Structure 1
Amino acid sequence: MPVPKHVFEQIKRLIPPLDGSLHKGQSGRIGVLGGAQDYTGAPFFAALSAFRVGCDLSHVICAPSAAPAIKSYAPDLIVHPILAPPDSDSVKAELTSLLSRLHALIIGPGLGREAYMQDYARMALRIAKEQGMFLVLDADALWMVQQDVDLIRGYRRAVITPNVMEFKRLSEAVHIDPKSDPTRLASLLSQKLGGVTVIQKGATDIIATNTTGASPSDRAQSHVDEGEKEKEEIMHVDTQGGYKRCGGQGDVLSGSVGAFLAWGKCFEEGSYGDKSIPPTALPALAATAGALLTRTASRRAFEKTGRAMLTEDMLPEIGKAFEELFGHEAAHGPKHPHGTGLLGFGMGVGGGGKGAL
């Protein structure tokens, strides 16, 4: 079953106009929290991917030991080297102030498992939830969630992006029967997490949001309208990607999903658009768009470099991948009249489940 036309149209409506009507920052301010001493590439890839997708400002919140390397990779990034032990009170104040200025937060790329970094990740997650932010959790943020799934249970403004092993560990943490239908595992994990959107990465990316059986407390903390119905949504994205599986491609996915979530927040706030898409639909739309975009950028990079492909080869392809998926007008703005601005169908995307996104 192909992705319904209205899903593509909803994704398209989240894209900010490029017509000079918006001020700096109104097309998305994204944050990436991660970057320990040994892991400086991951937050760079996530933050710069969000930039390449089209966000206006991209911040990296990292350990002081990681900041010089990250700054040297890209002067476009705003780097905050504040995650240093042991002054947690000072860090909390800085995080609260910083996150209040962002539209979405990605937690996990390059985070590591040192106790103080994990503590700061939990702190940032609590602050972000209090502020109603959209979230992406990846890499060692998923290890953190595995230790305490109540950290995100019921927070429906979050997207998690587990790989095969991360998905297995999370499924075990919430006691999903491993003999369950493989095509239903992502939906079951979403249900166990109270409606958090799951991207189960694999040969086909399975994106699921399952809010059936959500408790009143889950609904309360997720900014859900009283009249909103419980439902299950599943999308399959098997658009061709590159055949090289080098490290860092998941960070590009996190950054791409984060960018669309930031746009969703701008859309929700009325910076542009008509608020016609409910906030609870935004995580699944962002996840679908991010998966499509990452796979297409990967394919384009692989076509040029083959076995030698590195994740950094994907970054210059994001713009053309965006144009390929969403049309010339969406990529360049209305002053370039040659593109139709229409989304293509039959791009190797399938959908299913009990409801449409």
Structure 2
Amino acid sequence: MPVPKAVFEQIRQIIPPLNGTLRKGQSGRVGVLGGALDYTGAPFFAAISAQRVGVDLSHVICSPTAANAIKSYSPDLIVHPILREETPPEALRGELAALLSRLHVLVIGPGLGREKYMQTFARLALGIAKEQGMFLVLDADGLYVVGGQLDLIRGYRRAVLTPNVVEFERLSEQAGIDPDTPPEERASSVSKVLGGVTILQKGQSDIIATNTEGANSRAAHEASKISPDEALWGQGDILSGSVGAFLAWAKCYESGAFGDSSISVSRMPILAAIGASMVTRTTSRRGFEKEGRGVVTQDMLKEIGGAFAEIFGGETQGGGKL
């Protein structure tokens, strides 16, 4: 399903201009919370993807057991190894709140794992982010955090949930969705149960829905030429980082750093989800065309910039970052 022209133009409006008017940090500051002993690749891929899309700064908030590995992958990332297993959550609250106050969006889940202390810190960070009015992305084990306590996210319309096929089935069950609901309507149904939270249901076609009382926005971004058998492990991390990038730009737009403030904040999550889906799908196609079945996630990272330019062009009429 092609993205409607009006929606496409709105996405373009929340992309920062490249005209010299913005200061450092006004093109987005993204945080990724995840990374424990066995999971260092996912938070790296999410954070570096946000930078490849075009944000100014990416921070990774992780366990000390993951920090050195993540730092070694790229010096471009700012790594905070503050999620120590022995630290009581309330003892970390002040430090974590101060850190999140410097960011525009928080991506929770890549490499989070299900260890009790990491899940506890994720819930703490989620609560702080909501208190601060941040945009949120919940992916992977971040979805596990809220799955058993849907009230943690219910009604918080600055959030985007990015479940894969298995995670979406579990989330649908937790939300009490009738299993006989047509597949193309389930994302919208889950969104409605969660009070208008945006759902980006990953699959052969990404289905994106925001359903609130009296309003039901839905979009489907068709898969590129890559078949499900050719989908890459790690592609979801690129997607979550890309959603984070667009939401960081949305926060900058909301603050008046650029743009004309004509787009409602309530539209930002679905615009970010659609834009990120387009970029990730195109990135996957470009990577596969060059590398074939030998493509790995590292290959895809190199294609993000080109994919972005392929979709949105080189520079916008307003000198945008495209």
Same fold judged by TM-score > 0.5? yes
Contact in 2 for aligned 1:241/1:295 (Cα 8 Å): no
**Aligned match of 1:104:** 105
Residue ranges of structure 1 left out of the alignment (5+ in a row): 213-229, 342-357
Shift of 1:334: 4.2
- Worse overlay, 13-22 or 24-33: 13-22
Distance 1:86 1:330, change over 3 A: farther
**TM (normalized to structure 2)?**
0.96
SS of aligned partner of 1:329: coil
Distance 1:49 1:330, change over 3 A: farther
Q: Give structure 2 stretches of 5+ with no counterpart.
A: none
Q: Distance in 1 between matches of 2:310 and 2:148?
A: 40
Matches within 5 A, 1:223-302: 230-240=214-224, 242-243=226-227, 244-302=230-288
Structure 1 residue 254: Cα displacement: 0.2
After the TM superposition, which residues 108-119 of structure 1 pair with which residues of structure 2 at under 5 Å, given as runs? Answer: 108-119=109-120
Pairwise CA distance, 1:241:
5.1
The aligned counterpart of 1:56 is 56
The AA in structure 1 aligned to 2:217 is E
Shift of 1:126: 0.1
Matches within 5 A, 1:176-191: 176-191=177-192
Q: CA RMSD in A?
A: 1.6
Preserved contact between residue 3 and residue 221 of structure 2 (Cα < 8 Å): no
Give the 3 Å change call, closer, same or farther, for CA 208–275 of structure 1 in structure 2: same
Instruction: Determine the structure 1 residue equivalent to 2:12.
Output: 12
Q: Deviations over 1:39-72 (max 9, x none)?
A: 0000000000000000000000000000000000
Q: One-letter code of the match for 2:130? A: K
Report what 1:159 is aligned to.
Answer: 160
User: Which deviations, in whole Å up to 9, do the C-alpha atoms of 1:299-330 show, x marking residues without a partner?
Assistant: 00000001001111111100000000001114
Q: Which amino acid aligns with 2:292?
A: G
Query: What's the TM-score once normalised by structure 1's chain length?
Result: 0.87
Correspondence 1:327 to 2:297? no
CA contact (8 A) 1:47 1:60 kept: yes
Measure, in 2, the Cα distance between the counterparts of 1:241 and 1:285: 23
Residue in 1 that maps onto 2:26: 26
- Counterpart Cα distance in 2 of 1:264 and 1:109: 21
Runs of 4+ in 1 over 3 A off after TM superposition: 333-336
- Aligned residue for 1:22, secondary structure, equals coil
Checking the alignment, whether the CA contact within 8 Å between 2:2 and 2:221 is kept in structure 1 is no
> Cα offset for 1:246?
2.3
Residue 149 of structure 1 pairs with residue 172 of structure 2: no
CA 1:277–1:35 in structure 2 vs 1: closer, same or farther (change >3 Å)? same
Spell out, residue by residue over 1:103-162, the C-alpha distance to the aligned partner (whole angstroms, 9 max, x if none).
011000000000000000000000000000000000001111111111101100000000
SS of residue matched to 1:281: helix
Q: Is the 8 A contact 1:34 1:61 kept in 2?
A: yes
The worse-fitting range, judged by mean Cα deviation, of 257-266 and 175-184 is 175-184
State the number of aligned residues. Answer: 319
Q: Does 1:89 align with 2:99?
A: no
Residue of structure 1 in register with 2:139 after alignment? 138
Give the secondary structure class of the aligned counterpart of 2:207: strand
